Amino acid sequence: MKRIDIAARAGRSLRQAKARTLLTSLAIAVGAFTLTLSLAAGEGSRQYADKLIASNVDEQSLFIAKDAALFGEGGSQFGGSGLSEYDPDAATRGNVTFKQLTAADIEAIRAVKGIKEIQPLYQVAIKYIKFEGKDTRYTSEVSTYGAGIVSETLVGSLPGRGEQIADGDIVIPEAYLETLGVKDASSMLGKSVAVTVGRTSSSVTSEQLAQAFASGGVEAAAALAQPEEKQFIYKVRAVTKQSATALASSSSVLIAPSQMKAISEFVTQGTAGFQKYMAATAIVNDGTDPATVKAVLEQKGYPTQTAKDLQSLIFTIVNILQGIVIGFAALALIASVFGIINTQYISVLERTQQIGLMKALGMSGRDIAKLFRYEAAWIGFLGGLIGSLLAFVIGTAVNPWVTEQLSLGEGNSLLIFQLIPIVILIVSLMVIAMVAGYFPSRKAAKLDPIEALRTE
Amino acid sequence: MIEVKAITKTYGKSKNAFKALDNVSFTIPTGTSVGILGRSGSGKSTLMHAVSGLDKPESGEVIIDGQNILELNQKAVDQFRARTIGFIFQSFFVQPNETVEYNVSLPLEIAEVPTARRTQKIDAALEAVDLSDKKNSKARNLSGGQKQRLAIARAIVNEPSIIFADEPTGNLDSTTGQKIEDLLFDYNRRKGVTLIIVTHDEELARRCDMIINVKDGKIESVKEPAELKV
């Protein structure tokens, strides 16, 4: 018997038992529904992560550290005995000790072929920040302006990609305007911003103290020992737009690297942290593959991550979450497999005479088995179709709401449905259903036609 | 021509062994109508199963048109049944949820007759049993007589050379049964098809060219066509 005739008969006999067919396939539909949604959510998250990285990280950039532990790999200092050799270049964060990059390291990296520029990661805590025309002192984070990515501005303008802002410039985020009570963003342009930093005068010697005491008494000595303060003045160059996918610019003011360096060196002068950096960002020459430069750097003993590595890190998290959901869907599918086996066994029992007749008419056992397997495949197809269609309709309907709730921002959506994975899903469900239909179909194939046709 | 040579079929083992067919031999010329007559349990159904290749006797030969079908493998036996044999059963065994057309189409699909030629064959078979107007009805909506006519259409659609009918009128009232009998014998005569009717109804058997009397798995008597005509 030809496959197409068997498939047509299988389809017709399912239509004749509509309720049973529908109920059996609904069990599969539950699994298909969950799988379709998790596939869509996975795709959505990956695309979102992609955008997130693309709008925050220059793909030509490298992240370089001295200690692999910073990237969560091979961190010898993690969970150690608590007693480890002292390293003057190491920094301690919590219980973890990291080796740091020194100025010499930065120079060594700068010398590597293919590196266009390198910037140490300056970590500065400022005391406060003051805006022109406001008496209030605010706390704020200060970060380095990244030339690799050009953010959208609300007002003002930023230089093109790869170019830095001037030393006297400062860029403030849109979010600050609300706190400052500024309605007209353009009024901020050109206003001066004073960043005040402080350091403890550890460099004061007892000799200097004695001198100050001699000349100015207790007050002069106290003033000398008090934390020194320094003000850096900048002019607002631009206000960056709040962007759902921008990370860095959303909560800190941005200044040029040279200024960051100046502040950092002022703050750390005389301390162990002077010119020591947790990490550095380097930009690779256009046309050079960051991965090749990474290989060179790692050989020299600098653990490095490319933008792609960062991406795969985020993808790993997405994949794990997706894997969990898929695991649950798989459980639902296993349950539905038993449903199919059960239904098909009942169907074989119900149709004993029909099977007997078909065999008497010369239909081979193999074709009979095929008939029942194809029926199972139809059930799988129907279940897959119902499940994925339902997921698509419901997903599309709630997508805008979910996207808003998660504040993913304009143009992003959590669920992204793609045709090919859904088609693959449905085909796999048909295969699974056919495997489930194997045992009942074998029972049908082995039926003795004489027994089956015996009339009572 | 059908030649049955010394077939024996035993059910069960050792002590419980029961000989359903015991050394049965006979010959049926092509185009003959044959009545296999016997009470229930006499072995007449087993005989039909053995001759049609549904069952395998442990010894003997069933030679149909020169071919011993007991020597064929399962696939060849299936093909042999699909191409040369039509079956009619007491309980019709039509598929109630399928339409008349799809019921008749089944043997054609099994014999892998090309789709293009099926419609014409189905129409001819339905015409022969006068069911043309019911082509698209569901089989469950037919009366008993119509169902058996549908079964006949299904048996003849692929133009078999042998038709087996197992108590074809057993579930029908006498008037309807009479019509079915007429239909079968008429087809047998017009097409020269060998018709083998298994029955316990002597009256029906007497309408056949040849009667084989079966009792306790043995042939009690064979009335050849020549004897009957006298």
Residue A300 or A271, more confident: A300
The crossing angle, in degrees rounded to 10, of helices A307-350 and A419-436 is 40
**pLDDT (mean) for A211-217:** 77
Q: Does B72 touch chain A (CB under 8 A)?
A: no
Position B230 scores a pLDDT of 43
The residues of A whose Cβ lies within 8 A of any Cβ of B are 1-2, 5, 9, 12-13, 16, 353-354, 356-365, 367, 449-450, 453, 455
Among the partner residues A16, A356, A362, nearest to B78 by beta-carbon distance: A362
Decide if B82 touches A, using CB distance below 8 A. yes
Strand B18-28 to strand B2-11: parallel, antiparallel, or no bridges (unpaired)?
A: antiparallel
The Cα–Cα gap between B180 and A16 comes to 30
Q: Helices H, strands E: what count in chain A?
A: 13, 16
Q: What are phi and psi for residue A174, nearest 5 degrees?
A: -55, -35
Q: How confident is the model at residue A95 (pLDDT cuts 50, 70, 90)?
A: low
Looking at residue A248, what is its pLDDT?
Answer: 52
Q: How far is B185 from chain A (nearest CA, A)?
A: 21
Q: What are phi and psi of A148, to 5 degrees?
A: -70, -30
Quick one: how far is CA B97 from the chain centroid? 24
Expressed as residue numbers, the domain containing A238 is 60-305
* pLDDT confidence tier of residue A8, bands split at 50, 70 and 90: very high
**Which of A5, A354, A361 lies nearest to residue B87, judging by beta carbons?**
A361
Chain A hits for B55, Cβ within 8 Å: 450
Measured between beta carbons, the chain B residues lying within 8 angstroms of A361 are 81-82, 87, 106-107, 110
Q: Verify whether the Cβ–Cβ distance A9 to B74 is below 8 Å.
A: no
Question: Quick check: B14 contacting A, CB < 8 Å?
Answer: no
Nearest CA in chain A to B83: A362
B79 at the A interface (CB within 8 A)?
Answer: yes
- B114 chain-A contacts, CB cut-off 8 A: none
Q: Give the position of tokens 């159904």.
A: B45
- Look at residue A345 in the predicted model and tell me its pLDDT: 94
Based on the fold, state whether residues A49 and A125 are members of the same structural domain. no
Q: Are A139 and A224 in contact (CB under 8 A)?
A: no
A116 vs A359, more confident = A359
Q: Cα distance from A370 to chain B (closest Cα, Å)?
A: 13
> What pLDDT score does A75 carry?
45
Q: Is residue A341 predicted with pLDDT exceeding 70?
A: yes
A vs B, Cβ pairs < 8 A, gives 63
The domain total for chain A is 2
pLDDT beyond 70 at A84: no
Please tell me the predicted confidence (pLDDT) of residue A183: 84
Q: For residue A240, what pLDDT band results from cuts at 50, 70 and 90?
A: confident
Q: Are A145 and A257 in contact (CB under 8 A)?
A: yes
Dihedral through CA A414, CA A416, CA A422, CA A424, nearest 10?
A: -100
What does the pLDDT read at residue A35? 92
Query: Same domain for A126 and A192?
Result: yes
* Whole-number pLDDT of residue B226: 61
Angle CA A286–A291–A295, to nearest 5? 125
pLDDT given for residue A65 in this prediction = 85
According to the model, what pLDDT value does residue A340 have?
92
What is the CB-side half-sphere exposure of residue A202 using CA atoms within 13 A?
Answer: 12
Out of A305, A335, A353, pick the residue that ends a domain: A305
Q: H or E element: which one contains B24?
A: strand B18-28
| Cβ–Cβ gap B93/A353 under 8 Å | yes
State residue B101's pLDDT score: 95
Q: Indicate whether A376 and A298 sit together in one domain.
A: no
* Cα–Cα distance for residue pair A453/A114, rounded to 1 Å: 83
Judging contacts by C-beta atoms under 8 Å, the chain B residues touching residue A446 are none
Q: Do A282 and A343 reside in the same domain of the chain? A: no
Q: How many CB atoms lie within 10 A of CB B198?
A: 28
pLDDT at A76: 47
Predicted local distance difference test score (pLDDT) of residue A249: 46
Residue finishing a domain among A305, A329, A363? A305
Are A334 and A369 members of one domain? yes
**Across A61-77, average pLDDT:** 70
DSSP A127: S
Residues A289 and A185 reside in one and the same domain: yes
* Percent of chain A that is helix, strand, coil (3-state, to 5): 55, 15, 30
Average pLDDT of chain A is: 84
Given this model, what pLDDT does residue A202 score? 57
- Give me the domains of chain B, ranges plus CATH numbers: 2-229 (3.40.50.300)
**Chain A nearest C-alpha distance from B44 (Å):** 13
Question: For residues A412 and A51, is the Cβ–Cβ distance under 8 A?
Answer: yes
The shortest C-alpha distance from B196 to chain A (Å) reads 16
Query: B222 in contact with A at a CB cutoff of 8 Å?
Result: no
- In this complex, is the C-beta atom of B85 within 8 Å of any C-beta atom belonging to chain A? yes
- Among A12, A15, A361, pick the best mutation site for testing chain B contact (most B Cβ within 10 A): A361
**Chain B residues in contact with A365 (beta carbon < 8 A):** 74
- The whole-number average pLDDT for the span A287-298 is 87
Chain B closest-CA separation from residue A309 CA (Å): 59
Residues A89 and A218 in one domain: yes
pLDDT block averages, 10 residues each, chain B of length 230: 93 85 93 93 90 92 93 92 93 91 95 94 94 94 93 95 93 91 94 94 92 92 67
Q: Are A154 and A33 part of one and the same domain?
A: no
Closest CA to A445 of A343, A371, A375, A346: A371
- Chain A residues within 8 A of B147 when measuring between CB atoms: none
Domain final residue pick, A253, A287, A305: A305
Q: Please answer yes or no on whether A354 and B87 come within 8 Å at the CB atom.
A: no
Partners of A354 on chain B (C-beta within 8 Å) are 93, 95
Nearest to A318 by CA among A33, A49, A37: A49
What local confidence, expressed as pLDDT, does residue A315 receive? 83
pLDDT tier at A456, thresholds 50, 70, 90: very low
- The alpha-carbon gap from A414 to the nearest alpha carbon of chain B, in Å, equals 47
Instruction: Tell whether B98 lies on the interface with A, counting CB pairs under 8 A.
Output: yes
- Please check whether residue B111 touches A, CB under 8 A: yes
Are residues A429 and A363 both part of a single domain?
Answer: yes
Nearest-Cα distance to chain B for A450, in Å, is 7
* Closest listed residue to residue B191, CA positions, set B163, B166, B164: B163
Place of tokens 């009232």: B173
Q: Looking at chain B from residue 42 to 71, which residues have their Cβ under 8 Å from any Cβ of chain A?
A: 49, 52, 54-55
* A343 plus A294 within the same structural domain: no
Same-domain pairing of A28 and A107: no
Question: What is the percent of chain A where pLDDT is above 90?
Answer: 28
Given this model, what pLDDT does residue A73 score?
55
* Structure confidence by residue, pLDDT tens digits, A168-206: 899 888 888 888 888 888 888 888 999 998 876 655 667
Share of chain A above pLDDT 70, in %: 90
Same domain membership, residue A436 and residue A420: yes
Q: Residue B143: what pLDDT?
A: 93
Chain A contact for B81, CB < 8 A? yes
Rounded to a whole number of angstroms, the distance from the CA of A24 to the nearest CA of chain B is 20
Query: Shortest CB distance from A357 goes to which of B74, B85, B93?
Result: B93
